[in-house]
A and B are shown apart, each in its own frame.
Chain A
Amino acid sequence: MAFEARNIQKIFHQESGDVRVLEDVSVALQAGESLSIVGQSGVGKSTLLHCLGLLDTIDKGEIFFSDELVSRGGESSTQDARALVRRRSIGFVFQFHYLMSELTAMENVMLPLLMSDHSQEEAESRAKEILSSVGLSHRLQHRPSKLSGGEQQRVAIARALVHRPKLILADEPTGNLDPKTAENVFNVLKDQSLRLKAILIMATHHMDLAKNFDKQATLVGGRLQ
């Protein structure tokens, strides 16, 4: 599986004028490869990940999964098509865990599978398996409020990976954690993406973590260098 983004352009149309956030950004990665993106706050790292993950529309350019064009303008008719690609092939990990507070760790992790019409039994079994693999087999029935910051983020990683995505997009997933927990969470994310042979793209402020990726890039002035 290859992932390729060609000449991505993203413009925010504001009253004060257009802001070109991404300009001619291209990314090409093979299955199992990883890319770190560093850059100053507000430079557009999150926007780039949102665009690559089809969460946001692009103004120009194309995004391909295994040579299949998956990005098309902003027409509402294709919103569901993009949602289906996200459901099938993409996993997001954000800076904040964004777990659903009313659900247990296991129920949170089961969500992507239940949305993909997996049976309750299979969803439970796979959620247990991946939560165990991120070291949380003893926390299955705990709600997010009863988990530590590192545990919450590991549940979020399990949720992002449980449907075995081909592309994992992590937006500063360690940004809210202390250095030791950050390293632990990063290792979990890296190990799990390698296990799945998934492409991992991570935006981060941590230069030390960024060096552990197959490829590194810096976002400056809307362009990847």
Chain B
Amino acid sequence: MVVRDKTKDIAILKSMGATDSSILKIFFMQGVFVGLVGTVVGIGLGVVMSILLRDYVRFPLDRSVYMIDTLPVDLRISDVILVGAGAVIISCLATLYPALLASRVIPTEGLKVDG
């Protein structure tokens, strides 16, 4: 979406001498930044929610169905790191293709885009 919205800006940057690789870098870094922010916020919220559920809220379960009284919460630092690393890697991979599309915008075509 960002690439589609920014097609004209990409064309202008290219008319000023931006290379394909520099455009690729800009969009990749932006995608990675968004992914990192999302991962950090997600991990923060997840950890806080887990601690709340483990120590304070204690989500009740029907013992006759689940054989336990409350939702068990086991917060492991290794899981947090693994999930965080996975999210960052996935966001990097998901950023590559749109960044590649951005770098391939043909300036003369980009200038014709409305908006």
Q: How large is the interface on A (under 10, 10 to 19, 20 to 34, 35 or more residues)?
A: 20 to 34
Q: Are B17 and A94 in contact (CB under 8 A)?
A: no
User: How distant is A54 from chain B, measured CB to nearest CB, in Å?
Assistant: 10
Q: Which residues of B lie under 8 Å from residue A90 when comparing CB positions?
A: 17
Q: Provide the main secondary structure of the chain A interface.
A: helix
Binding stretch for chain B, among A26-34, A77-85, A140-148, A189-197:
A77-85
Q: Are B17 and A84 in contact (CB under 8 A)?
A: yes
A186, CB-defined interface residue at 8 Å: no
- A111–B107 alpha-carbon span in the complex (Å): 17
Q: How large is the interface on B (under 10, 10 to 19, 20 to 34, 35 or more residues)?
A: 10 to 19
Q: Are B17 and A115 in contact (CB under 8 A)?
A: yes
Q: Which residues of A lie under 8 Å from residue B22 when comparing CB positions?
A: 115
- A111–B22 alpha-carbon span in the complex (Å): 13
Q: Are A56 and B108 in contact (CB under 8 A)?
A: yes
Q: Are B108 and A112 in contact (CB under 8 A)?
A: no
- A87–B17 alpha-carbon span in the complex (Å): 4
Q: Which residues of B lie under 8 Å from residue A87 when comparing CB positions?
A: 16-18
Interface pairs A-B: 4 shortest CB-CB: A87-B17, A86-B17, A80-B19, A83-B19
A residues sitting closer than 8 Å to B (CB atoms) are 47, 50, 53, 55-56, 76, 79-80, 83-88, 90, 92, 94, 98, 100, 111-112, 115-116, 159
The contact sample of 16 A-B pairs, CB cut-off 8 A, is A50-B107, A55-B107, A55-B108, A56-B107, A79-B19, A79-B20, A80-B19, A83-B17, A84-B19, A86-B14, A100-B9, A100-B12, A111-B16, A112-B17, A115-B22, A159-B16
